[in-house]
Amino acid sequence: MQGAGATESQWADEDVLARQYVDDRNLAARQRLWRISRSEPEFDFNRWSVELLSPSPGSVVLDAGCGNGRPLSLLRETGCTAVGVDASLGMLGTAVAPPATVGDVQALPFATGAFDAAAAFMMLYHVPDRRAAAAELRRVVRSGGVVVATTASSDNQPELRDMVEAAVGGDWVWTRPSESHFSLEGGADILGSAFDSVEVTRAPERQVFVTDAEAMADYVASTEDHYAHSLPPGRQWSEVVDAVRSATSEAIADHGALVLTARFGALVCR
Ligand SMILES: C[S@@+](CC[C@H](N)C(=O)[O-])C[C@H]1O[C@@H](n2cnc3c(N)ncnc32)[C@H](O)[C@@H]1O
């Protein structure tokens, strides 16, 4: 096998993560594709995720790995007191809904039982010790409170996986973090180490219609930090990005859109 996508160290390596999340450029490129692409059925994954926390005016909710603050701002709209924490200071500088603080989900800088609920949205696959993170999320939420972790299914966007693997060629495998580190299918085992119950809830499966080849290319380019090292010798990630751009343009010309099947969901822990 020429390469096997990202290794454990690439997903959790401090230097790689520091580059990937030095600010919100990479995250924003991925968010943009979702924002500008029509989906059937129409569905707002961030809003759905936030609702699983049952936030209410007066409740106090933690958003761990809050990134540039999209879910955080939705939480604040509910009238709850929402607190963000993220490992990246640069990312927090871009947050649309401050205040938030720098911190590591594996050693949260909060008192035991300080929150009514906590979120770990699309972030646990970046954490080296996910069981320690689960224990910390359990610790900072009061007894009876809920912790919601979101991630992708290991079969998310198979069309994009096929496109990227075809672009690299040979038997190179695009191993995404939700396949290898923290998936909807495998996450319950990890979270079960800290919680009495973990319920897997799938968001409605969506067809996402990509009609902007440049946005699709930007999305794939944004993941370079995690995959470039694993390419066969002499291959560059920019070639993969160019091939994805061309294949997307072709799909748009032939069928009106590149259609991706989005499979995401949540693990609801108590
Ligand atoms: C894919 S982004 C998700 C952002 C946000 N939760 C969302 O759903 O839009 C992952 C975020 O997790 C943060 N992160 C990674 N490892 C972390 C850790 N150990 N503790 C706290 N945050 C971390 C990154 O800095 C990044 O902002």
Distance from chain centroid for Cα 34: 12
Of 225, 219, 224, 242, nearest in space to 27 by CA: 219
Least confident of 11-20, 46-55, 191-200: 11-20
Which residue's CA is minimally distant from atom 20 of ligand 1?
A: 104
Q: Which atom of ligand 1 is nearest to the CA of 120?
A: 6
For ligand 1, say whether the CB of 223 is within 6 Å of any of its atoms.
no
Q: Which of the four pLDDT bands, split at 50, 70 and 90, describes residue 269?
A: very high
The span from the CA of 112 to the CA of 18, in Å, is 28
The span from the CA of 45 to the CA of 58, in Å, is 24
Is pLDDT above 50 for 14?
yes
pLDDT in tens, 177-189: 878 889 999 999 9
Instruction: Find the 107 Cα to ligand 1 centroid distance in Å.
Output: 14
Of 13, 17, 42, 14, nearest in space to 27 by CA: 17
For ligand 1, say whether the CB of 121 is within 6 Å of any of its atoms.
yes
Is pLDDT above 80 for 10?
no
The span from the CA of 146 to the CA of 195, in Å, is 10
Instruction: Find the 88 Cα to ligand 1 centroid distance in Å.
Output: 8
Domains of the chain, residue spans: 8-155+175-205+263-269
Token pair 């859109």 is at which residue?
Answer: 257
The span from the CA of 102 to the CA of 187, in Å, is 25
Q: Helix, strand or coil for residue 269?
A: strand
CATH: 3.30.565.10, 3.30.360.10, 3.40.50.150, 3.50.50.60. Which one for 8-155+175-205+263-269? 3.40.50.150
pLDDT in tens, 123-166: 999 999 999 999 999 999 999 999 999 999 999 999 999 999 99
Is pLDDT above 50 for 5?
no
The span from the CA of 206 to the CA of 86, in Å, is 29
The span from the CA of 177 to the CA of 78, in Å, is 31
pLDDT in tens, 55-97: 999 999 999 999 999 999 999 999 999 999 999 999 988 877 7
Instruction: Find the 170 Cα to ligand 1 centroid distance in Å.
Output: 32
Instruction: Find the 89 Cα to ligand 1 centroid distance in Å.
Output: 11
For ligand 1, say whether the CB of 148 is within 6 Å of any of its atoms.
no
**Alpha-helical runs (H) found in the chain:** 8-12, 14-20, 25-36, 45-51, 70-77, 89-93, 130-140, 158-168, 177-180, 187-191, 213-221, 224-227, 237-255
Instruction: Return the structure tokens found at 152.
Output: 């992708």
Largest CA distance in the chain: 56
